[in-house]
Amino acid sequence: MKNFLTIHLVYPHEPKARTPDSIGFNLAKELILYGYDVRSYRLYEELLVPFIPTRNDILIGHPRWENNNTFRQLLKKKGWGRIIVLHPFCPRDLWSYAHLYFYCIFADSFIAITGKYWKNEIINTHFSEWHNKILQLDLAIDTNFFPKVKKIFNPAGKRKFLFIGNHPHYKNVDFLNKLAGNLKQIEFHRIGPTSRKYKNLIQHGKYELSSPEAKRIVKNMDFMITMSNRDANPTTIIEASSMGLVAICPIGSGYLESDGVFNISGSDMKLALEQINNFNCMEEVVLDQKRKQMDGLIKTRYTWSVFSMNVIKEIERNENHTYKIKSFFDLSIIYIVFYFLARKSPWRVFIKKYLKICKSYILDVFKR
């Protein structure tokens, strides 16, 4: 069966170390090795070659908010053998993921790139009716890009913490900055775009984590820390862990302690301060145990072969799901967020375009 299938994969797919490109690139490579014909698409592109899908064509990938995204253009074509949404997913963050409701109405399956915590927690969110319809998928890394550079921990009481990434709403960087402000004796560092807003973090600027500059910074750290309560499955946790750091995050980042991390509160400042002080003075043997646990998971679970094999199982599955929200209250909330509040909602996009036109008109008037 597999040799007759063509996979139309919509995902960034440049040969890069970091997501999202690493997802599209490595998944396509594994699918080809398995025997599929794979056609890769970018998230936005003009479809110049017309074709009519058949039962042997499988559409899988990453839809976006905008109407002109590639997945939506392909979705309009009739005749697909299967339609599969493959997308990060944090069911608590409606602002980021409300648009998935529209695409999942037409999908046979939804593969959610998310932590096990969120798979269990979805029952308590507005997406609760999708609880038994979602395939939860762990992220993966290529350890060749993230070699172990941190081998010896700093002495107890002098440990260093590193946050990696940008500062969108769901990363909870404001909380981390306040935490650092209450612990002046401990160094909190950051790799990411510099912002004056985070004065309590030692900011190194934006580097790829696989770069020589980032590796030099990581070598001096002990912990990778993120404080998000609404993050699907941050890759930086396993990337930094592969490089030798011990990861710390709230359960809302998708990882439980059984997933190779230490959990921390991302909302209770008093508790978080106590936990950081405990980590700072933790016996090295305990840190080594946690690092060995994560090393084992990186070799056996957070791999592209495991990631891709789970996708392949879903491609070849005969069972389809109907992704509909029956609760009027939940559906109303999702629609309101999608159409009016979400970052790329149709209403906000319309207002933004209208204001842009008005600004251009006013400037033209003044120029005259």
Domains of the chain, earliest start first: 2-140+304-329 (3.40.50.2000), 160-300 (3.40.50.2000)
pLDDT higher at 238 or 345: 238
Mean pLDDT of 174-186: 97
Read off the pLDDT band of 49 (50, 70, 90): confident
Asked whether residue 100 carries a pLDDT value surpassing 60, the answer given is yes
Q: Torsions phi, psi of 136, nearest 5?
A: -80, 130
For residue 14, is pLDDT > 60?
A: yes
What's the pLDDT score for residue 328?
Answer: 86
pLDDT at 344: 65
Burial of 275 (0-12, 13-18, 19+ CB in 10 A): middle
Q: What is the mean pLDDT of residues 117-138?
A: 95
pLDDT over 80 at 334, yes or no: yes
Tens digit of pLDDT for each residue in 256-277?
999 999 999 999 999 999 999 9
Q: How confident is the model at residue 236 (pLDDT cuts 50, 70, 90)?
A: very high
Is the distance from CB of 43 to CB of 62 less than 8 angstroms? yes
- Nearest CA to 160 out of 220, 215, 201, 213 is that of 220
Rounded to whole angstroms, what are the CA distances from 296 to 145, 233, 238, 273, 325?
A: 17, 18, 12, 29, 39
* Residue 336: predicted pLDDT: 85
Q: What pLDDT score was predicted for residue 1?
A: 45
Residue 2 burial (CB count, 10 A):
13
Give the residue-averaged pLDDT of 294-300.
Answer: 98
The structure tokens listed for 39 are 């056609």
At residue 273, the pLDDT reads: 98
* Distance of alpha carbon 148 from alpha carbon 232, whole angstroms: 25
pLDDT of residue 340: 77
Nearest to 317 by CA among 83, 68, 46: 83
